[in-house]
Amino acid sequence: MNCTVWSNICCILCSILFVVSPVVAQPRQAVEYDLKAVFILNFARFVELPRDTGNVYTVCYAGGEQVRTALGGLRGKLVRTKPVEVRECTTAEEVRSANLVFISASERRLGRELLAAVRDKAVLTIAEHEGFRAQGGMIQLVPVHNRIGFKVNLAAIRGAGLRVHPQLLKLAQEVEE
Amino acid sequence: MLKQGLIFSRLHLAAVSLCILFSVSVSVADAVTGAGVDELEKLSIEELLQVEVLKVYGASRYEQKALEAPANVTVITADTIRQFGYRTLAEVLQGTTGLYVSNDRNYQYLGYRGFSRPGDYNTRVLVMIDGVRLNDAVFHQAPIGFDFPLDLRLVERIEVIRGPSQAIYGNNAFLLVVNVLTRPIPQTRQFEADLYQDTRVLTMGGISGGGTLPNGTGLLLSGSLFHTPGSNLYFPAYDDPATNNGNAQHADYANGGSLFMKAQHGRLSLLGGYLSSRKGIPTAAWGSTFNDNSTRTIDERYFGDLSCQLISGATADLKLRGYLNAYNYSGYYAPQYHDYSRALTVGSELVGHVRLPWRNTLVAGVDYRYGAIVRQGDNDGYYDNRNGSNVGLFAQNEFRLLDNLLLMAGLRYDQFAGNLSSLNPKAAVVYLPYQGLALKYLFGTSFRSPNAYEAQYQGSSYRINPSLKEETLYSHELVLEYQYEERLRLVLSGFQYDYRDMISQTVDSNGLFVYENSERYRTRGVETELSYRGRGWSALLGHTYQHTYGLLGSAHATVNSPRNLMKLRLSRELAGPRLVLTGELLYRSAVQTLDPAVTIGEATIVNLTLSSRDLIAKGLDASVSIHNLLDRRDYHPGAAEHLPIAQIPQDGLTVAARLTYRF
């Protein structure tokens, strides 16, 4: 191929990139747990606790490296004026003092114990695995084709004395009364 | 030459001015790109619900992260298809690293890493729509051109799984698998109308609608039509006053239509499709009369699938499905030859995956296919009708030995009609030394039994070979994959493919076509793919270098086997995702044709597309594409049936416009 053609091609393709003014765009793809972490943050904001005690909003999780990294990104963000604190939990004791607990799919066995520990307590429970809501869990993150959706167990939320914003229910895949 | 240069510089100017024009009028969108927690936080929940998670399904038949999948996989999303103005599956694949398409102006054939012999059908590629096999029972042909029975508007994503996947998918997953996943059924009622027109007078249109019925059943219906009178083409081989001086007029036409439906109720889902297409053959193929536009093929395909998700969840699932796939072919060759085939396969499959203790994930299944109709015939009195079944059993286990070390082993056993059977192992090691970095070693074997056409066709100018047997492939591939926050992805791959006893079309001493297990090849190569997603722009650069050589005197190794293939795709958002300009550069080095005296020079094709979504009016998508912007004259090698035409001319500059309205 002669070099005039190459230079012309390069010129056209570069013009696509650089002639146009810089703009910013909406994200359309994300790392799975980054996306889930932000869903969790939104759930924290849309579900009100009965007594807002303490100076921080504690998010407790059971999960692997990816969950740790992603949820770590929520540290310091605000939920109703309180900064988020994130910590890993392995015992029932640790969970009871949290405001929100997230159990990843790989930790479902441990999740069952943690869930039992906070039953009817004012702790928002979120997980990914099937059967979580049947065990009394509150919000389940579910895959919807290539995206993420969520299902809500409203009975469990109300049973624990929590108040959920109607907008959240409107966007849920499924709401169990 | 001077004139060409002048036209080119005008186009060049036009393209640049187009960029400038749009750059002035854009406004800065309010959201941000990239997808870290900080950026995602700025989105509302409605917007979060629209963000995609990048995962692949087809590599192991359950959803897993691309980085950890025991395969080298490329995912092409609906946005890419729309923004790059792709019209057919062939164009999508043409833009994919390592792949190239040959068009003989009748059908389109997929080449992969230097392997695409003229005369072979797409038998070594498995193409599926939502898991339904499209390769038919007579030719095993995978449709990728206008004979692909799905409008690309209905595609959610396409997964290209490189290398043999026979160990899970069975016959035809010889070189690669193309898994086309259709878009989900909309929750609320939605309709879409689409119209396409280009300067080669190709017109396409379609309507679709979907939603959820009051009883909870989700439904998606679609219908599409296309029509083109085709180009007038010049073939020097027929440049004689007796054959219209080599001009084939009105012989390259194509028209047809397709229907598609998808329904879902609870755990049950049903999908079905139908396609009818007609294509004129301008190359006087199979000894037909040159410049006679009654020479044509008519293809009819239909498929259906009813599946029930017996168990569903992140830790286990089990799916039972029943499916059918039919393909009817009719060929009319002037002055009066006519041949045909009819194929109907029905099948059933039970496949599931389960997470087992000690960090094992097992995928297993059983697959039964019955070729109810496998019929071929012609108007010279040849007729052949038979049926046969194929049972496949497979299992694959993935064992996470350490947090960052995955071992995968799989095995599939197939029993075919005619006492042919095959056992195909597959193995992979995936090592993740750092976050985002994967090293993979992939090993696989493939087996392909001769199709009915190769084994049994006795039409005019054909002789059958009773000793024809299966062909095999042994593949080794080493992959280094690095991914940084979904922004940057680098894949480096080195591969060696050993092809044995390849079923090859030859011409015997009486001038009759006959298939023999006569060729043996080795391909070695290196493939690189680098993609980057920045603020408002993205780029992908793919390059494949390969060297194929024949062993034991095999002759056709270098035919249609480009040493170098390069793909460059650029995309720039001008007003957020609402207005996007894309450019694509496809480079192929020189290729040999079947005629030893004819070599086709290297080719560089540049395509540009400007597409808008919801910009002019809510729900309205509009796009303008320029295909082959440089108006390069390119040719593709043809098979023996087209000789003396060894190289088949391709389309030059084409300008296209498309409007889609969603309501």
Residues B282-317: tens digit of each pLDDT: 999 988 999 999 999 999 999 999 988 887 665 778
Nearest-Cα distance to chain A for B203, in Å, is: 28
* Chain A residues touching residue B32 (CB < 8 angstroms): 24-27
Question: In the prediction, which pLDDT does B3 show?
Answer: 43
Among candidate residues B112, B162, B176, B165, the one with its CA nearest the CA of residue B408? B165
**Whole-number pLDDT of residue B454:** 84
Shortest Cα–Cα distance, B7 to chain A (Å): 13
Q: How far is CA A169 from CA A124, B43, B81, B434, B531, in A?
A: 15, 18, 34, 39, 38
Query: Looking at residue B60, what is its pLDDT?
Result: 59
What tokens does B464 get? Answer: 């059958």
Confidence at residue A80, expressed as pLDDT on a 0 to 100 scale: 86
Other Cβ atoms closer than 10 A to A105: 19
Q: How far is A96 from chain B (nearest CA, A)?
A: 26
> At residue B30, does pLDDT exceed 50?
no
Residue among B543, B324, B343 nearest B457 (CA): B343
Q: Identify which has the larger pLDDT, A40 or B415.
A: A40
- pLDDT at residue B59, as a whole number: 55
**What pLDDT score does A27 carry?**
39
pLDDT digits (tens, 9 = 90+) for A85-106: 998 887 888 888 899 999 988 7
Q: What does the pLDDT average to over A8-27?
A: 46
User: pLDDT digit string (tens) for B335-388?
Assistant: 989 999 999 999 998 988 888 888 788 888 998 989 899 898 888 888 888 888
Q: What is the pLDDT of residues B170-185, one digit of tens each?
A: 778 888 899 999 887 8
Surface of A (24-63) touching B: CB under 8 A: 24-32, 34-35, 37-39, 41-42, 46
Q: With CB atoms and an 8 Å threshold, state whether B585 touches A168.
A: no
What are the structure tokens assigned to B234, written together?
């010049």
Residues of A in contact with B403 (CB under 8 A): 64-65
B243 vs A24, more confident: B243
- Tell me what pLDDT residue B439 has: 92
Q: Residue A12 is nearest to which of B15, B63, B535, comparing CB atoms?
A: B15
Statement: residue B624 has pLDDT above 70: yes
Chain B residues with CB-CB distance to A108 below 8 A: 315
* Dihedral over alpha carbons B309, B313, B316, B320 (to 10 degrees): 0
| pLDDT tens digits for range A100-123 | 999 988 777 788 888 888 887 889
How confident is the model at residue B553, as a pLDDT? 64
């909309």: which residue's tokens?
B186
Confidence of residue B5 (pLDDT cuts 50, 70, 90): very low
Token readout for B586 is 């496809």
Q: Tell me, what's the pLDDT at B180?
A: 93
Task: Name the nearest CA neighbour of B171 among B347, B522, B424.
Answer: B424
Is the pLDDT at B106 greater than 80, yes or no?
A: yes
Amino acid at B173: A
The helix/strand/coil state of A55 is: coil
Q: Which residues contact A168 (CB under 8 A, 6 or more apart)?
A: A42, A43, A46, A47, A152, B45
Contact flag B31-A23 (C-beta cutoff 8 Å): no
A16 to chain B, any CB pair closer than 8 A? The answer is yes
The Cβ of residue B357 has, within 10 Å, a number of other Cβ atoms equal to: 5
Mean pLDDT, residues B90-114: 94
Residue A113: per-residue pLDDT: 85
Closest CA to B75 of B189, B164, B155, B186: B155
Residues in B 51-70 with any Cβ partner in A closer than 8 A: 51-55, 63, 65
DSSP string, B237-277: GG-SGGGGGGEE-S-S-EEEEEEEEEEEETTEEEEEEEEEE
Q: What is the ipTM of this complex?
A: 0.83
- Whether B436 and B484 have beta carbons less than 8 Å apart is answered as yes
Residue B61: predicted pLDDT? 57
Nearest to B536 among A24, A105, A149 (CB): A24
Position A12 scores a pLDDT of 56
pLDDT digits (tens, 9 = 90+) for B504-543: 888 888 888 888 888 888 999 999 999 888 777 889 999 9
Q: How many CB pairs under 8 A join A and B?
A: 199
**How far is the C-alpha of B95 from the C-alpha of B104, rounded, in Å?**
19
Q: Which residues contact B474 (CB under 8 A, 6 or more apart)?
A: B444, B445, B497, B498, B500
With pLDDT > 90 as the criterion, what percentage of chain B qualifies? 42
pLDDT of residue A23: 35
**pLDDT score of B585 more than 90:** yes
Residue B98 in this model has a pLDDT that exceeds 90: yes
pLDDT tens profile A153-169: 999 999 888 999 988 88
CA dihedral B67, B72, B78, B79 (to 10 degrees): 70
CA B543/CA B564 separation, integer angstroms: 7
- Band (pLDDT 50/70/90 cuts) for residue B25 is very low
The DSSP output letter for B451 is: P
| Element spanning B128, H or E | strand B125-129
A171 contacts in B (CB within 8 Å)?
Answer: 45-46, 49
| pLDDT confidence band for B15 (50 / 70 / 90) | very low
Per-residue exposure over B271-308, b if at least 16 CB sit within 10 Å of its own CB, e if not: bbbbbbbbbbbbbbbbebebbbbebbbebbbbbbbbbe
The identity of residue B138, as a single letter, is V
Backbone angles phi, psi at B236, to 5 degrees: -55, -30
pLDDT given at position B341: 93
* Over residues B469-491, mean pLDDT: 86
| Cβ B526 vs Cβ B494: under 8 Å | yes
**Contact with chain B for residue A78, Cβ under 8 A:** no
pLDDT at A8: 60
How high is the pLDDT of residue B199? 92
pLDDT at B555: 67
Q: Which residues numbered 420-449 in B keep a CB inside 8 Å of some CB on A? A: 435
- Helix, coil or strand: residue B48: helix
Q: Which residue has the higher pLDDT, B481 or B32?
A: B481
Compute the distance between CA of residue B173 and CA of residue B424 in angstroms, rounded to an integer.
11
Query: Residue B447: is its pLDDT beyond 90?
Result: no
Q: What is the pLDDT of residue B356?
A: 81
Q: How far, in Å, CA of B337 to CA of B476, rounded? A: 45
B73 touches chain A (CB under 8 A): no
Interface of B with A in 145-174 (CB under 8 A): 156-157
CB proximity B207 to A under 8 Å: no
Average pLDDT of chain B is: 85
Could you give the maximum distance between any two Cα atoms of chain A, in Å?
Answer: 75
List of residues 6+ apart from B206 with CB closer than 8 A: B151, B153, B192, B193, B194, B222, B223, B224, B225
**B34 chain-A contacts, CB cut-off 8 A:** 27
- Binned at pLDDT 50, 70 and 90, residue A4 comes out as low
From B70-79, B113-122, B323-332, the region with the lowest mean pLDDT: B70-79
Looking at residue B58, its pLDDT comes to 53
State what percent of residues in chain B have pLDDT above 70. Answer: 90
- pLDDT at residue B31 tops 50: no
3 state SS for B487-515: CEEEEEEEEEEEEEEEEEEEECCCCCEEE
- Chain B residues with beta carbon closer than 8 angstroms to that of A73: 36-38
